[in-house]
Amino acid sequence: MRIEANYLGMALELHEREVENWQYFHHCIQHEFRLQRCDECGLVRYPPTTACPWCASSGARWVPVDGRGTVHSYTEVHHAVQPAFKPQVPYLILLVELDEQRGRPTPHEALRVVGNLTTVDGVLAPKEITKTVGIGSRVRMVFTDVARGLSLPQWTLDHDAPQPHQPWRAP
């Protein structure tokens, strides 16, 4: 079984044989953010994988994770590699450090999840919003429904959280 979809003109394909991805996106389509928690060491991991990156155990179960965090790093795209993305520039790709499991197993190995910056409706954020977001901004997860059977986890500004006075942005 497989799912084919089109996201802003870019073809996406998900196949059942990619077991962990298939299970991950099965939760996303229900707008549930779940990650694997290792049965052996108890750590949650991202991206979905067959074995735990810290203890190599293959035993894990999917647990709900709070999709809130802080922008750890970002890229602002001005030159779209995909022609279909041209009308969308400039847009942001965020690397978000989750509040969940922060600082474990080490301060350098946190759970960091990639996604675009979007509006609360899951649409790529316009320039007026992208220019206000940088390292330190507080964000929460939203889901973009791309096609029947496929939703992408994305990030939007968390208006319930205190925001830094001036998030760091590349000069």
* Residues of span 74-103 touching Zn ion by CB under 5 A: none
Cα 12 → chain centroid: 16
Residue 84 phi, psi (nearest 5): -65, -20
105 vs 164, beta carbon nearer Zn ion:
105
Among 28, 35, 44, 52, binds Zn ion (CB under 5 A): 52
Residue 55 interacts with Zn ion (CB under 5 A)? yes
29 vs 51, beta carbon nearer Zn ion:
51
| Min dist. Cβ of residue 25 to Zn ion (A) | 23
* Residues of span 23-42 touching Zn ion by CB under 5 A: 38, 40-41
Residues whose CB falls within 8 Å of the CB of residue 76, separated by 6 or more in sequence, listed in order: 90, 91, 92, 130, 170
- SS3 call for 91: strand
Q: How far apart are CA 155 and CA 145, in angstroms?
A: 13
Segment contacting Zn ion (CB under 5 A): 7-15, 56-64, 77-85, 151-159?
A: 56-64
| Min dist. Cβ of residue 34 to Zn ion (A) | 17
> Contact, 25 vs 5, CB < 8 A?
no
Q: Looking only at Cα atoms, what is the longest distance across the chain?
A: 48
| Min dist. Cβ of residue 100 to Zn ion (A) | 16
Residue 114 CB neighbour total at 10 angstroms: 15
| Min dist. Cβ of residue 45 to Zn ion (A) | 8
| Binding region for Zn ion (CB under 5 A) | 38, 40-41, 52, 54-55, 57
